Structure 1
Amino acid sequence: MTDSRMNPKVDEFLGKAKKWKEEYEKLRNIVLDCELTEDFKWKHPCYTFEKKNIVLIHGFKEYCALLFHKGALLKDPRGILIQQTENVQAARQIRFTNVQQIEEMKAILKSYILEAVNIEKAGLKVDFKKHEEYIIPEELQNQFAENPALKTAFEALTPGRQRAYIHYFSTPKKSITRESRVKKYIPQILNGKGLNDK
């Protein structure tokens, strides 16, 4: 089937797909029926409305999914939207493990996609957690107390870099592990670099 709305990069992606190929194709047809523009972003089929991201099709080991970029704003009367991790603020997924599930949910998926388009048309935005609302782990606060230059350097980082460090330092359950992570990255913070900066 040739359609002017189909993106050759997505055709290539589907051609190379080893897993979830049939599911991807089914999801693609459903989304294209909703009059969205097909694009290819972040190495996945992405569908937009007036250049605004609406949904993305992606796959994992255990499932494939339709990811709604502003899924947190959808009403979700069926309770099918999944927040990948507690740190994901806006996006939500609907997960599938076979084509049959997608076929059975076709009408529901279309209604969610159209609601996502309406959210975009209305110009609604996800209310992101304010940077100040992130809890700085005690182990990092202790280092700030010992080394005021570290606190100054940390506060000079972009909010995204600060969040990445806070998340990385807070994740381990044991204080000793959190402390060793903080100590390891002190030079990087003092050099004004983010967690993954070289």
Structure 2
Amino acid sequence: MNLKVTEYILDKNKWTQELKLLRSALQELPLEEDIKWGIPAYLYKGKNIIGMSAFKNYCGLWFHQGIFLKDENKLLINAQEGKTKAMRQWRFNSLKDIDVELVKSYALEAIDNAEKGKAIKPQKNKTPIIIPQQLQNELDSNSLLLEKFDSFSLSKQREYVNYLIEAKRETTKQKRLEKIIPMILKGIGLHDKYR
């Protein structure tokens, strides 16, 4: 048992019983339990298969490649229509909504799909990175900063660039720039703590 998952479940007072039941069903399957993105995650041979989480009005399971599930019972939804391509969500509003055998059958099908290699891979963002002038000035004046920034993957560089561009006010941009310079110098990606 993963202690962090136990802590997560116990912290979700309203949904503790539902999460415990879902967890017990998933633990009977050949899945490895972990925490990813701050929520319980269930992996098969290193691949993300299912996530489990609780919100204000429901708790649920996320099937990372849920689009490939048959879903004959029409239980899965795309929680972010237009954004999410592969992930599908199964929501529960109470303990009586959880059919353990059905949860296991969906999970086993997801594992089987992973074995068969069924997956939609994230699309690489091919848009060129346009570095904001404030960051470019810092990169031009600090060779170590430039070296560290250039060593990042394009996705990490894009995270920093977007973080600056999304700020509306100049004072916010400046504060963000001051925040990220030490992170870049340490070789830390903006969202590394969530990975």
Calculate the TM-score normalised by the size of structure 2: 0.62
Query: How far 1:160 sits from its partner (Å)?
Result: 4.7
Aligned partner of 1:187 among 181, 184, 193: 181
Change (3 A) 1:51 1:144: closer
Q: 1:10 & 1:164 partners in 2: Cα distance?
A: 28
Change (3 A) 1:131 1:118: same
Aligned partner of 2:79 among 77, 82, 93: 82
Change (3 A) 1:182 1:13: closer
What is residue 37 of structure 1 aligned with on the other side? 30
2:79 alignment partner, SS class? coil
Q: 1:163 & 1:181 partners in 2: Cα distance?
A: 18
What is residue 24 of structure 1 aligned with on the other side? 19
Change (3 A) 1:74 1:188: farther
What is residue 161 of structure 1 aligned with on the other side? 156
What is residue 134 of structure 2 aligned with on the other side? 143
How big is each residue's C-alpha offset from its partner over 1:111-130, in whole Å with a ceiling of 9 and x where there is no partner? Answer: 54233212211123432231
Change (3 A) 1:168 1:97: farther
> Once the two structures are aligned, what percentage of the paired residues are identical?
29
Which residue identity is paired with 1:37? P
Change (3 A) 1:177 1:122: farther
1:26-175 to structure 2, matched below 5 A, reads: 26-31=21-26, 36-42=29-35, 45-50=40-45, 52-71=47-66, 74=69, 78=74, 80-83=77-80, 91-103=87-99, 107=102, 109-110=103-104, 112-133=106-127, 136=129, 140-143=131-134, 146=137, 149=140, 153-172=148-167, 174=168
Stretches of structure 2 lacking an aligned partner (at least 5 in a row):
none
Change (3 A) 1:15 1:71: closer
2:59–2:91 Cα contact (<8 Å) kept? yes
Change (3 A) 1:14 1:22: farther
Q: 2:175 & 2:71 partners in 1: Cα distance?
A: 39
Stretches of structure 1 lacking an aligned partner (at least 5 in a row):
1-6
Q: Root-mean-square deviation (CA), in Å? A: 4.3
1:20 alignment partner, SS class? helix
Query: How far 1:67 sits from its partner (Å)?
Result: 2.3
